[in-house]
Structure 1
Amino acid sequence: MNTSTARRVLASIAACATAISLAGCGSSSAQDATTIEFWDPYPQKTADSTWEAFVKDCAPEGYTVKRVGYAQSDLLNNLTTAVKAGNAPQIALIDNPKMPTAVDAGLVTDIEAAGVDVSDYDENIEGPGIIDGVQYGVSYGSNALGLYYNPEVLEKAGVDPASITDWDSLNAAIEKVVESGAKGITFAGISGEEGTFQFLPWFWGAGGDLTDAAGSQAEQDALDLVSGWVKNGWAPKSVATDNQSAAWDLFLTGEYGFSENGSWQAESAKEQGFEMISIPAKDGGVAPVPTGGEFITIPTQEDISDEKLQATVDVIECLIGTDENLKATNDEMVYLAAKSDVREQQVAENDVWAPWVDAVENAEGRTTEVGLEYETISAQLSEDLQAALNS
């Protein structure tokens, strides 16, 4: 063994022995040493998108960023394969309810130990990425759910949106809208996580607790509410298969009074003259909504040099390392930032965000309290929702 080879072997052994243990040890990756591979769940953002340019512009000197967009449902499976094969990307954006799964499978590493500043972020937004006291990712921002309404439809029906403060007043408003000749409400009840995501505000708004969800009174109350809209003819039967985009397309017809949908529709809503109120809890007040968005993570590497790890951190810092960078990333993704002072800047520049601040600040992480159990809980809630909507 020559001196140079011996040094490389010793360096590899030393790296494997570090306390932070950012990666498992094994054969070196075949990836280009000067390429930072960046995976995200935004395949709709193509090579000519502003997001593509935004990410690539974060390449440190001497490096390039190779971005790959996977469907949300495929990213974790592909990441599992890549980690096992020893050619994982340096950065991956993981949907927040998938974080416990990624950590349990050993797919991601301690991002704070890697050198990423995780201070001053909102605890409720970061919760799903912190497991057993270790922060495995940084959520740069969140989207949220709200209750959009069509002012023209409500005015014709004689409904004051300020009067909607609980479920009874919401139902009374929807009934008036329908009696006026318009249609009631759209929402997404599709099977799977997307439908559960939209069901949770009603479940939590009824006092629900994910540690005791299935068969609880809160679940039954929420199921009765949303299935009752369908049975009364206030919501279309298609809600059982509608995703959030389909529910929004129905609302865009101008025929409906209300639509439960996300902050990502805020600009579209503004263009149409639609407005938003927070989703009401059963007995009054604002219902918690689930945090949305992704976590920036550093996947487990077979072998990564100190220099490339630092370059990886530099890319992440370019995206979120300063208030200016964090704001730019959230503006690009149409999210509200996970830091209050940056959110204030966003609202100051664009008042469309003002109604969403309370929703984001009071949102709850789906997995924060229940961890890996959320997958089973979500699946059961989805099954129960489908049964109620199709009964």
Structure 2
Amino acid sequence: MIGSNMKRVIALIAASAAAVSLAACGSNSSQDSKTIEFWDPYPQKNDSSTWAKYVTNCAPEGYNVKRIGYAQSDLLNNLTTAVKAGNAPQIALIDNPKMPTAVDAGLVTDIEAAGVDVSGFDKNIEGPGIIDGVQYGVSYGTNALGLYYNPDVLNKAGVDPESITDWDSLNSAIEKVVNAGYKGITFSGISGEEGTFQFLPWFWGAGGQLKDASGSSAEQDALDLVSGWVQKGWAPKSVATDNQSAAWDLFLGGDYGFSENGSWQMESATEKGYKMISIPAKDGGVAPVPSGGEFITIPAQKTKDSDKMKATAEVIQCLIDGDNLKKTNDEMVYLAAKSDVRKQQVEENSAWAPWVDAVENAEGRTTDVGLEYEDISAQLSEDLQAALNKG
């Protein structure tokens, strides 16, 4: 049986081999002493987007920033190849749960040692980027999960959303919605990390710990809750294959009372008049949700250039300092990783207000378990699929 560490090594080798052609024809701009190459997982934002212009405008005097957008699933593989080939970008934005993998593979470096000031950021949001006491990246902000509801449906069903404070009151509310002739709740239980991401608030809300996840009483309680919704007909059977977008599309139809989904849906929710409450813990209070978003990192460089490293730090500082931190988060529809900036966001857009508790109670998926999270997530996903698909 191949151990998890050996699996990761094999995966990295395979990824490198698959991407070798990309590296061979890739840009050499990272070797230009006056060009700072910037990789992000936002390929949908082209060169004319406000994000692209914002990033390139952060170039220090005498330098230029070349931004390249990769699909989230491709960025880490391409970075692995680039670091080994000695033509890594100066800056790369890495998905939250991939930080331990990037650190373990030697792809990223100590961001504070490079001169980036990371003081004042929320520890719960920055957790996945801090490994063995070293900060390898800075998260400028986060998205989060919440429980959206349709006020019209709840009103007709006689449900007061403020009465939903724990699992019992949530189940009671869903039952009233269904008895009133509407549909209950949508969520994503799809196989893989996306489904695990949506399952974690229920697992954590039952008192679960990732170090003791599969087979725990907390996992069983959470599995019974969400699979029970399907068995009772309160949630569609498609949750086992629905991603978050598909689950949201069902909710936008107007027939459902509730939907577990992310803060990135806030704008479309506001347009429809939908509201949001924090996901309740089993016995009351706010359930922790997994922090999302990306970390700004400085990849390992084959050739050291102190002047270019200083300029690289200046680009990052430009994105996370003062008013620019708010601008960066507004661009990504995230809540900032600093409380004073979140306050400004709420003052400008009251739709953010109910998300503050979720963000401030959020937990990093890898903060306590590091590389082990990959295997833990895979097992939770397998258990969730089995529960959702049982007869």
2:55–2:65 contact (8 Å) kept in structure 1: yes
Pick closer, same or farther for the CA change 1:121–1:237 going to 2, 3 Å: same
Q: Does 1:75 align with 2:75?
A: yes
1:29–1:86 contact (8 Å) kept in structure 2: no
1:95–1:294 contact (8 Å) kept in structure 2: yes
Aligned to 1:140: 140
1:29–1:302 contact (8 Å) kept in structure 2: no
Following the alignment from structure 2 to structure 1, what is the Cα–Cα distance between the partners of residues 229 and 361? 26
Aligned to 2:375: 376
Q: Secondary structure at the match of 2:281?
A: coil
Larger Rg: 1
Q: Does 1:121 align with 2:141?
A: no
Q: Secondary structure at the match of 2:185?
A: strand
Structure 1 stretches of at least 4 aligned residues deviating more than 3 Å after TM superposition? none
Instruction: Give the Å deviation of 1:35.
Output: 1.2
Instruction: Give the Å deviation of 1:29.
Output: 8.7
Aligned to 2:94: 94
Long gaps (5+) in structure 2:
1-27
Per-residue deviation, residues 51-93 of structure 1 (Å, max 9, x unmatched): 1111111112222211111111111111111100001110000
Q: Amino acid of the residue matched to residue 352 of structure 1?
A: A
Aligned to 2:10: none
Following the alignment from structure 1 to structure 2, what is the Cα–Cα distance between the partners of residues 98 and 165? 33
Aligned to 1:18: none
Instruction: Give the Å deviation of 1:43.
Output: 1.5
Instruction: Give the Å deviation of 1:131.
Output: 0.5
Following the alignment from structure 2 to structure 1, what is the Cα–Cα distance between the partners of residues 45 and 239? 27
Q: How does 1:322-333 map to 2 (within 5 A)?
A: 322-333=321-332
Per-residue deviation, residues 151-210 of structure 1 (Å, max 9, x unmatched): 000001111111111111111111111111111101011111111000000000001000
Following the alignment from structure 2 to structure 1, what is the Cα–Cα distance between the partners of residues 299 and 36? 12
Q: How does 1:301-380 map to 2 (within 5 A)?
A: 301-320=301-320, 322-380=321-379
Aligned residues: 363
Following the alignment from structure 2 to structure 1, what is the Cα–Cα distance between the partners of residues 32 and 255? 54
Identity of aligned residues (%): 83
2:164–2:170 contact (8 Å) kept in structure 1: yes
Pick closer, same or farther for the CA change 1:300–1:102 going to 2, 3 Å: same
Q: Amino acid of the residue matched to residue 367 of structure 1?
A: T
1:153–1:177 contact (8 Å) kept in structure 2: yes
Q: Amino acid of the residue matched to residue 384 of structure 1?
A: D
Q: How does 1:1-391 map to 2 (within 5 A)?
A: 31-320=31-320, 322-391=321-390
Following the alignment from structure 1 to structure 2, what is the Cα–Cα distance between the partners of residues 244 and 346? 25
Q: Secondary structure at the match of 2:138?
A: coil
CA RMSD of aligned residues (A): 1.2
2:30–2:88 contact (8 Å) kept in structure 1: no
Long gaps (5+) in structure 1:
1-27
Instruction: Give the Å deviation of 1:31.
Output: 2.2
Instruction: Give the Å deviation of 1:390.
Output: 1.0
2:30–2:89 contact (8 Å) kept in structure 1: no
Instruction: Give the Å deviation of 1:30.
Output: 6.5
Q: Tell me the TM-score normalised to structure 2 length.
A: 0.91
1:289–1:364 contact (8 Å) kept in structure 2: yes
1:29–1:303 contact (8 Å) kept in structure 2: no
2:30–2:90 contact (8 Å) kept in structure 1: no
Q: Amino acid of the residue matched to residue 359 of structure 1?
A: A
Instruction: Give the Å deviation of 1:271.
Output: 1.1
Q: Amino acid of the residue matched to residue 283 of structure 2?
A: D
Pick closer, same or farther for the CA change 1:30–1:224 going to 2, 3 Å: closer
2:99–2:128 contact (8 Å) kept in structure 1: yes
Following the alignment from structure 1 to structure 2, what is the Cα–Cα distance between the partners of residues 236 and 44? 30
